[in-house]
A and B are shown apart, each in its own frame.
Chain A
Amino acid sequence: MKADPAGVLTGVHYLDGDYACGEGAMAAGCRFVAGYPITPSTEVVERISRRFPMMGGTFIQMEDELASMAAVAGAAWTGTKCMTVTSGPGFSLMMENIGLATMMEAPCVVVNVQRGGPSTGLPTMVGQADMMQARWGSHGDYELIALSPQSPQEAFDLTIEAFNLAETWRVPVMFMMDECVGHMTEKVVIPPADQIEIVPRKLTSKPPGEYKPYEVNGRPVPEMVRAGDGYRFHTTGLTHDERGYPVMSVECQEVSVRRLIDKIRLNADQIVRYEEEDVDGAEVVVVAYGITARVTRAGIDLARAQGVKVGFLRLVVVWPFPERRIRELAGKVKAFVVPEINYGQMVLEVERCAGGKAPAVLVPHGGGGVHDPRAICQAIVEAAR
Chain B
Amino acid sequence: MTEKRPTRTEIRITGFGGQGVVLSGHIIGRACAVNAGMHATMIQSFGPEARGSACSTTLAVSDTEVLYPYIGRPDVFVVMSSEGWEKFGNELKDDGTLVYERDLVKVQPKPGQQAFGVSSTRIAEELGRPIVQNIVMLGFFAAVTRIVPVERMREAVRESVPKGTEELNLKAFDAGVAAFDESYAGGAKAAAPAPVGS
Contacts and interface: CB of A to CB of B under 8 A. Distances in A.
Interface string B41-55: 111101100000000
A40 B70 contact: no
Residue in A13, A14, A295 with the greatest tally of chain B CB atoms within 10 Å: A14
A12 interface: yes
A370 interface: yes
Interface stretch (B29-37, B75-83, B116-124, B190-198): B29-37
A186 B33 contact: yes
Contacts of A16: 42
Contacts of B69: 180, 184, 291, 294-295, 370
Interface residues of B, number: 21
Binding site of A, secondary structure by majority: helix, strand, loop or mixed? Answer: mixed
B26 A14 contact: yes
A184 B43 contact: yes
Given A294-B69, A295-B67, A183 B46 contact: yes
B40 interface: yes
Interface string A50-82: 000000000000000000000000000000000
A32 to B, nearest CB: 28
Contact of A185 (B42, B65, B68, B70): B42
A298 interface: yes
A98 to B, nearest CB: 27
A57 to B, nearest CB: 22
Contacts of A185: 25-26, 29, 41-44
A184 B68 contact: no
Contact of B40 (A124, A186, A291): A186
Given A40-B46, A183-B46, A370-B68, A14 B33 contact: yes
Contact of A295 (B25, B43, B68): B68
A180 B45 CA distance: 11
Contacts of A297: 67
Interface string B1-43: 0000000000000000000000001100110011000011111
A369 interface: yes
A378 interface: no
Contact of A183 (B33, B43, B47): B43
A117 interface: no
A39 B46 CA distance: 10
Given A13-B34, A14-B26, A183 B68 contact: no
Contacts of A295: 67-69
B34 A369 contact: no
Contacts of A370: 68-70
A187 B67 contact: no
B41 A186 contact: yes
A124 B43 contact: no
A373 interface: yes
Nearest to B37: A187
Contacts of B160: 14
Interface of A: 12-14, 16, 39-40, 124, 180, 183-187, 291, 294-295, 297-298, 301, 369-370, 373
List the 8 shortest-distance A-B pairs measured between CB atoms, nearest first.
A124-B46, A14-B30, A185-B42, A187-B33, A298-B67, A294-B67, A298-B68, A297-B67
20 contacts: A39-B46, A124-B46, A124-B47, A180-B43, A180-B69, A184-B42, A185-B25, A185-B41, A185-B44, A186-B33, A187-B39, A187-B40, A291-B69, A294-B66, A294-B69, A295-B68, A295-B69, A297-B67, A298-B67, A369-B70
